[in-house]
Structure 1
Amino acid sequence: MITATKMVGIGIASALVLSGCSSATDTVQAVGTVTDQAQTVQIPALDAPTVNLDAGFPAAAPTATDAGDQLGSSTTATTFGLGNTWQIATVLVSVGDSVQVGQPVATLDQTQLDLQVNVARADADVATAQVDLLTAAIGDTYSKAAEVATNRDKVRDAIATLTATQADLKKKKAQLRTTRAELTTQLDQVNAALKNPMLPPQQKAQLTAARTQLLKGIATIDAALTQITQAEPQLSRGLTKARSGLATLTTAAATITDARTQLTGLRDLARIAADTAKLSVDLAKVHRDQAVLTSPVTGVVVTIAHRGDRLAPGATVAEIRPVGASEVTTWLPPQDAAAVCVGNTATITGDWMAPGQSVPARLDWVAATADYPPTSTTTGDVHLLRAVEVQLSSNAELPAGVGVEITINGCPAGSDQNK
């Protein structure tokens, strides 16, 4: 069952639909502005080199205040920028010339940019040389390690020889002492026999000769024992020194191994630095390539800078107005915007045209909501507060920035407006 409230709602909706359809075929009059579609060619943001003003001068001596406080000189280098403006070196087009997209229109002075490329290349060469130097140093560690290993083998052989000699001397010392004891016993026996007064002369002479030989043998053994006794401390000191040298060589081998590890790590970092330096060269070349300024669109040159001009990054070098359809922007009151549809035909009239002359246009876009028009907007309604932005296009070439009168045909009856 349909209630009274629903009946009222249906009646209001029907009235709105009928009122919209009844005015759908009316035209909408408006005043708009031809959009300036010109695109600019600007000075790119390029790195400007700096000069170290302290280069070649000795460090400043410290100064003292009246209070006696010692002040050290600053360690920060004084630098001077060569400027962040760029000079136009050549101008390749004139106002009114037709240009294609990507066509060069002007070039900048590349002196500073060439310097940047050369500096980047020099840095890259230094970084690459560091890799080569570290590689050579790593190779030297292998040579040093081989030399240390050879010396360590020699010291080990010497220690083995000294140890064997020391053991041999101890053995000989024991043997000499045993032999001396035996000779001493024999000497005692000979001395005892010589004390016998009844010895025949011939036997006494033999014992005397034997006694002389025994004394000589004992003296020889004593001399040998003295020599061994003197040699033993020398051998001990030699062994101690050799073992210390072996420990030093072992430490040196470990140090060389550690040094090789450190050098290998440094070489890895140097390779990263070299690769980064190559990227800096590529970046410097990209910046140098940006010194050739090209047109962003196919169109006609509207303005162009002069040769010798110095411009800051972002400054306009040239304006290029693209060829093709002209765009017109207008703002419509909400009730008029509701009466037009995307795709509607329209006509545009300008005060520079002959009486009765107009150019065809097409409605391309209608904003979804009303907004406050910019204060510079040209409209036919003096008291227009909130309006709907509308854009049209025309294949005719219209002068940019001028005001035009627009007649837009309304939506056909029964159409789904602005969808």
Structure 2
Amino acid sequence: MNEPKPDARAVASLVEEAHRRHWSAVLAATVRLTRDLDLAEDCAQDAYVRALRGWPDGAPDNPAAWLTTVARRTALDRLRREETLRRKLPLLLIEGERDDDPDRSTDPLRLIFTCCHPSLSRDSQVALTLRLMCGLTTQEVAAGLLVQEATTAARITRAKRKIAAAAIPFKIPADDELPARLDVVLTVVHLVFTAGHTAAGEDLMRADLTERATDLARMLAGLMPEEPEVQGLLALLLLSQARGGARVAADGELVLLADQDRGRWDARSIHEGVARATAALRQGKGRFTLQAAIAGLHSVAPSWELTDWAQVVRMYDALLLAWSSPIVALNRAAAQSLVSGADLDAVLADLDRLCADATLRSYAYLPATRADVLVRLGRAAEAKTAYGDAISLTHNEKERRFLRHRRDELDPPGQVS
């Protein structure tokens, strides 16, 4: 008896899954052939459209190979038809380079280094990575980054033109350039995750962005298994994502780490994240590896109260040596305030010094942390003011409601701010 053929919705689901899993590899292999980002995008998209019509009996055994073959054949046909192969200078062309290497496994790595080239602005790097590596539409990129669609489209177009004008090569950087270039790539992937983890508007999280960033980190970890910072980034994202389900209450409101039901955390992601962080720490102590180690300490603690806060502070001290960031200093101060017997006045003094840092003036977590410390010091009036400052700087409506609730709890009975 023949197996029943999948219906249109089932085929669409198969193609959607293939898009998420294989888009960057299909596009990168096509870019390698065309050296033209726009042409490669068009041909890769066409391959997925053909899959909707060509997979009535289910996905082929190797969907990525099928899609790549279709995209590259389409590209070759267009190049021949338009007679551009000889007379038009292709995008990203390196004189003498040919597509004679059958190993395409590193093509996605070449593409992400192109998206994150240092000649592009950080905003353009993030937008181009979401568009080309994650396969999001311009509208989806704009929504994820809370930017007007026209602005996003202009950024992507300018970035592509700059890549073309500068003849930026489609290649993995040389060994002497790799550390600095890799740091930019990891930073961009982390920014994509952060955009989803601290979403603005009504939603606390944008799962599509956090999942795409984790996919990118996993791809990088597979392609660069010996790079500790790559493994550290994947560990950090896994450990952060593992707590995502417990971060939102049944009514959709914010739940702080201290109050989360740890039974709702994803044990498998925690196990993998801790293992990767531990292995990465043996090879080096870069900023993503150390952040993953801190996330690991939170993830294995049986409760908020039983967290090893002294060890968390020591890890932040190491992180400050590797990456002197005011946000790291803020997080260290928050952790220090939770160490048994902590001098809260000294912690508050540290926080007050951070208030003078221009980079933290619009960072809501600084006044929110000050407010929490002031409450513990019994200085309710000052805490209310600090909560008000945090509310004014917060872009997420649910976080604003949470902060208002904390502030209003300080009012005498019967009085509401």
TM-score by length of 2: 0.16
**Larger % of strand: which?**
1
Q: Which has the higher contact order (CA 8 A, sep 6+)?
A: 1
Larger proportion of helix: 2
Larger radius of gyration: 1
User: TM-score normalised to the size of structure 1?
Assistant: 0.16
